Structure 1
Amino acid sequence: MNEINANYYQAVQSYLHRPALISDPKRSNIFLFDSTVQSDIHKFTDSGELDRYISSTSKPSTRIISISSRISTQPLGITETSVRTLINAYDIHHSFLDRLLSFGDKPRCSDAGHGGLVMQRREHGAYDVHYLFAYPEAYDNGQSVAWTTRQTCVFHRFDPSGNENLWIFLHAGPRTKLQTAIEADISSGAFPSETSWCSFHLLALATYLWNWRWYIRHLGDGIERIVEMALTLNDADLQSVNQSSALNLLKPQYLEDNLAPVKSQVDVALQVVRKLGELNSSLYSQGFIKEPELWKIDNVLAHHRVSLEGSISSVTALERKIRGISQLLAVALNLRNQSVTIEINNRSLDMNRESVDDNATVRVVTLVTLTYLPASFVSTLLGMNLFDFNDPNGKMNFTVSPQFWIFVVIAVPLTALTLGFWYFMMRRRLKNRKQSDCGGNTKFE
């Protein structure tokens, strides 16, 4: 038995951005169909009911279990306990758990390369095949057609003898296109999974893989608009960069981010198609399928393979184109920056010239002031009341007032104080400048 450790899910939950499985069994969303029961598809809204059903009923030749989340970014509609019951009941390899843990959140760029097909041969000749792949899906956002990326997972146990055929589908969202197509096939009564081992594999591929071409074209249209904008960009546009035009200049980076995981996601789907082709050839070589079925399946897989290889080539071409346009925009912005730098330098040069002219004017004013300063000082000094040029008799006589010492006592200390303050400030400024030069910092006063 391949029993699951009871603490496995709790051990990895800390690495999950959101839980992959529901905790409330009453919020389950599970569909089940058994080929031996001639009735409608069973719908379980309680995981406990699924556990009891699996435990109380015998395994039919074909059983289909479809598990969906309520919305694409919510956990799968099954509890951890029911997953453990299902996997232990069918002895499913623990690698299938990695597929379940990919749900509960949108497909991440860091997981773009995960999900390839895993195939295991069992003791009694049965094959276990499971894989997960991402796919784009269009929706109407009210203004135009927008795209989002979702994922789906398929598990298939195929016994060539026909004794056991188990399908498990995991859907990111309710009533997905694949879920609807499966129900339509079951309701038709043909039940193709009993006539062809690859029927539901081909159904899953046909339902989702064709969207890659149109999603890549959607990204290509966005890149073409950026190319047209870049080729018609002129200096006037660069000079009047506002919020709207700035967002346009950032669009290449946005489109490149959207394009980044696409090649890996398409490559995973391509690997699934190739592995299914290898399994188909192996079954034919062992005599489990006949030649008409071999070619029928190979032809469909070849179509998907060519389409996906073309998508990868298209993504490569778009990557080269967006890198080229990003470089073109970078050159244009660099030229604009150089133009702005030259303009700033020219303005700085004009300001320096004006500063030189101002300095020359200051020097002239200083020279004139120094020229007239002695005469001004003498006239001011002699104009004070401390000097008398006439005696009381009216005769010319130069006399110094006995209070002249007051002028000396006040003027000399005041002059010394002024010169001392100037000297102190100069020394302080010089000291601060030396400290800033040593510390690499500029200090302004």
Structure 2
Amino acid sequence: MPPYLPLPTAFQKSYNERDSYPRNLIRRTVSTYPSALAAYASRLDFAAPNLFETDVKKLEVPIRDLKTDNGNGKDLDKFNIQTPEELTRWFGVKIVQDPNDPENPVVAVQQKDPKCRFVYIHGANSRARLRITRSMLLELFTFHQVMPDYLDFISVFGLQSEARDLRFSSFREQKSLKLPHGASGVDSLGRSGRHYQLCYNLKGVNLKYQDLEDPGKSQWSIRQAAFYHQLDVVGGNVLWIVTKGGLDVQQRFKELTGTGARPEDKAFGTSEECFRSSLSAHLLFCHWSTEDWRGYIKWLEYTIEKDTEMAVLGPTGKGQHHHIYTARDIQHLQRWAEKVREVTSVLKANVDVMTSLRRFYTDLRSNEEFPMRKSCGDDISVFASQLGNLIDDFRLQIDRADALVRITTDRTELVKQHRLERLNLNMENEAIIVRIITIVTLIYLPATFVSTFFSTEVVSFDDDTPGGSFSNAAMMRWVQVTLPLTALTIACAYIGKSMAERRSQRQVLPMDTDDLHRFQWISEKWNWRPRVRKELSLQDIKV
């Protein structure tokens, strides 16, 4: 068994304070000042209850270490970490006594970093907790000194009822290609201290449920994955940390580096070979994000066409069979339009990330501090060209989605027009009915008035008075009651109208300084009274 080698003092301090990550990081940049690190820690505290698994029986963190020679003839070590103790043993970390100071325990390691380490953090699905504890994550990130930006990428996962922060997309990078003055690497881990690290996320789509009888009832889901990558530009040591719901991306990486893979994709002998293999992994993840988008957009086109074809092709003549559109149909079309816009937004985000990834590596090719700029320059060119093909394919899908957005918007307006036309037809029918009722009322109103008036005591008919009798007292009482009630009704209506107008005048916009000066000038010129000034609206002033 190899002896344990002590780690540098600064690294020991950082490892012992791993629960305070990311405030315990050794190397810091301008963007990782103390308040920024404290903000990262606060966001992690907020997300932790729903982000990390609490049931120890469900913990599982697959790790694959690819090596050129580990002493036993194997070039691959793999294990599913299920406890924090197993993770510590896998790193080869142990607290030992300092030979020079037996009372001072030190943090030591038994082995160096492998040429390529792949860590897969996942949940049972995209809306479940990650199957890792917080302490395990902080130990992993501290041991490999992971840039704190990756916390933003993994915080979108965890327990949730609906996919959250789906529009979040970013690309972060951090270069340390030159050692600062007085700094050194970690020799006991095989780290030169000269490295670069980057993290980004990509989004793909997959078919959750397929209904062969009615394709419109099929279900699609947009899923995202977060990727972290670190490469030592001297030794070539590579680190991958991938976070996603489900195990599909891990399976793809197995195929990339498995027995049936291309030799150049799984060669980790020299630093150049490690670099080329990392480019292949980037392309693998980018290819994953391009799959099934064509099928998803095709399904959206079919569904929208099915819901709106009667609006375009259906007969609209009177007496012909046609679909009656309701407000619910407009809601459905609005939902489809939002889904298509979501597709456009996600595809553009993927394009931006891939463009940033291509720019990062093309910049490396011209960076004097990058030792492999000449030996791997052609590989970077090929990588940039292949990324360009993926970006072009995405842009074609974006154009297709934009066209579908326009079609959906136009057909939504057409459905609204059909609905408005039907409402107008109903209003015309109702207007005819009201006209008939008005005519009938005009015919019967004189007779009704005469009958009502003659039923009072003003005019009475009896057998003793031929031709009837007229009562002046009854006539006066009828006038005395009818006219005041009529006046009171009119007065109440006028008061209600005046109150509504005053309430409307109070709801005017507040004046800015220029409008206030104009108001004062006009009021002084016309000598308005204060009451008039108070009731003057902003609209009146501007007129």
TM-score (norm 2): 0.64
Deviates most, 428-437 or 93-102: 428-437
1:333 equivalent among 399, 416, 419: 419
Distance 1:25 1:294, change over 3 A: same
CA contact (8 A) 1:32 1:65 kept: yes
Give the corresponding residue for 1:402: none
Over 3 Å counting, the alpha-carbon distance change for 1:274 and 1:367 in structure 2 is closer
Determine whether 1:271 maps to 2:352.
yes
Tell me what 2:50 maps to: 19
Equivalent residue letter for 1:172: G
CA distance in 2, matches of 1:320, 1:240: 22
Code of the residue aligned with 2:83 in structure 1: it is: D
Matched, 1:87 2:141: yes
Verify the 8 A CA contact 2:202 2:289 in the aligned structure 1: no
| 1:97 aligns to 2:183 (yes or no) | no
Look up the SS of the partner of 1:77 in the other structure.
coil
Instruction: Using the TM superposition, give the Cα deviation of residue 256 of structure 1 relative to its aligned residue in structure 2, in angstroms.
Output: 0.8
Match of 2:205 among 113, 136, 145: 136
Aligned partner of 1:188: which letter?
A: T
Contact 1:193 1:199 in 2 (8 A): no
- Kindly state the Cα deviation for residue 251 of structure 1 after the two structures are TM-superposed: 2.9
Letter in 2 for 1:32: I
Q: What do the CA deviations read for 1:258-290 (whole angstroms, capped 9, x no partner)?
A: 112222211221122222322332344454443
C-alpha deviation, 1:355, in angstroms:
1.5
Partner SS state of residue 31, structure 1: strand
> Could you tell which deviates more after superposition, 198-207 or 217-226?
217-226
Distance 1:238 1:344 in 2: 22
C-alpha distance after superposition, 1:95-131 (max 9, x if no partner): 11000101124544x541x322212102444111110
Give the aligned partner of residue 266 of structure 2. 192
> Mapping of 1:117-196 within 5 angstroms?
117-122=171-176, 123=178, 124-143=193-212, 144=215, 145-173=218-246, 175-176=247-248, 178-188=249-259, 190=263, 192=266, 194=268, 195=273, 196=276
**Relative to 1, partners in 2 of residues 1:98 and 1:351: Cα closer, same or farther, differing over 3 Å?**
same
Q: What SS class does the counterpart of residue 4 from structure 1 fall into?
A: coil
CA deviation after TM superposition for structure 1 residue 351, in Å: 1.4
Asked if 1:41 is matched to 2:110, the reply is no
Match of 1:65 among 82, 100, 119: 119
Give me the whole-angstrom Cα distance separating, in 1, the residues matched to 2:337 and 2:321.
22
Gaps of 5+ in 1: 381-412
Worse overlay, 330-339 or 264-273 = 330-339
CA distances 1:184-238 after superposition (whole Å, capped 9, x unpaired): 3343275627332211111111223132222222222223334422212444689
User: What letter is aligned with 1:81?
Assistant: S
Alpha-carbon spacing, 1:367–1:76, altered in 2? closer, same or farther (3 Å): closer
8 A Cα contact 1:135 1:150, kept in partner: yes
Distance in 2, matches of 1:377 and 1:422, equals 30
Which amino acid is 1:82 matched to?
A: M
Distance in 2 separating the partners of 1:251 and 1:311: 23
Question: Residues 160 and 238 from structure 1, CA distance in 2 versus in 1: closer, same or farther, beyond 3 angstroms?
Answer: farther
Q: 1:17 to 1:279 in 2, by over 3 A?
A: closer
- After superposition, the Cα gap between the structure-2 partners of 1:76 and 1:363, relative to the gap in structure 1 and judged at 3 Å, is same
Which whole-Å deviations, capped at 9, do the CAs of 1:388-428 have from their partners, x for residues lacking one?
xxxxxxxxxxxxxxxxxxxxxxxxx9999999998997787
- Distance in 2 (CA, whole Å) between partners of 1:367 and 1:414 is 11
Of 326, 337, 343, which aligns to 1:256?
337
**Kept in 1: contact 2:60–2:81 (CA 8 A):** yes
CA distance in 1, matches of 2:45, 2:427: 51
CA contact (8 A) 1:47 1:78 kept: no
Tell me whether 115-124 or 277-286 shows the greater mean CA deviation: 277-286
2:431 pairs with 1:345: yes
Aligned residue pairs, count: 406
**1:313-392 maps to which residues of 2 (within 5 A)?**
313-365=399-451, 373-376=459-462, 378=464
Change (3 A) 1:129 1:12: closer
Alignment equivalent of 2:87, drawn from 50, 55, 59: 50
1:384 equivalent in structure 2: none
Report the equivalent of 2:530: none
Matched, 1:303 2:389: yes
| Matching residue's letter, 2:250 | Q
Matched, 1:78 2:149: no
Confirm or deny: 8 A CA contact 2:204 2:293 kept in the other structure.
Answer: yes
Pick aligned residue for 1:202 from 274, 283, 295: 283
Q: Does structure 1 conserve the Cα–Cα contact (< 8 Å) formed by 2:209 and 2:219?
A: yes
* Cα RMSD after superposing both structures: 3.9
- Percent of aligned pairs sharing the same letter: 17
Change (3 A) 1:203 1:342: same
| AA aligned opposite 2:152 | D
Instruction: Decide whether the 8 Å contact of 2:56 with 2:83 is kept in 1.
Output: yes
Mapped partners of 2:455, 2:301: distance in 1: 76
The one-letter code sitting in structure 1 at the alignment partner of 2:219 is A
The separation in 2 between residues aligned to 1:182 and 1:231, in whole angstroms, is: 48
Matched-pair contact (CA < 8 Å) for 2:66–2:77: no
Shift of 1:305: 1.3
Distance in 2, Cα, partners of 1:13 & 1:421: 79
The answer on whether the counterparts of 2:362 and 2:381 sit within 8 Å (CA) in structure 1 is no
Deviates most, 32-41 or 79-88: 32-41
Query: Alignment partner of 2:234: what SS?
Result: coil
> Gaps (5+ residues) in structure 2?
1-10, 15-20, 25-37, 94-110, 179-192, 467-472, 502-543
Report Cα offsets for 1:288-311 as digits up to 9, x if no partner. Answer: 443542343233212201101112
CA contact (8 A) 2:310 2:323 kept: no
How far residue 365 of structure 1 moved from its aligned partner, in angstroms, is: 3.5
SS in 1 for 2:219: strand
Larger radius of gyration: 1
- What secondary structure does 1:132 align onto? strand
User: Residue 72 of structure 1 aligns to a residue in which SS?
Assistant: coil
Instruction: Give the secondary structure class of the aligned counterpart of 1:260.
Output: helix
Q: Which amino acid aligns with 1:264?
A: S
Residue type at the aligned position of 1:148: S
Match of 2:132, SS?
A: strand
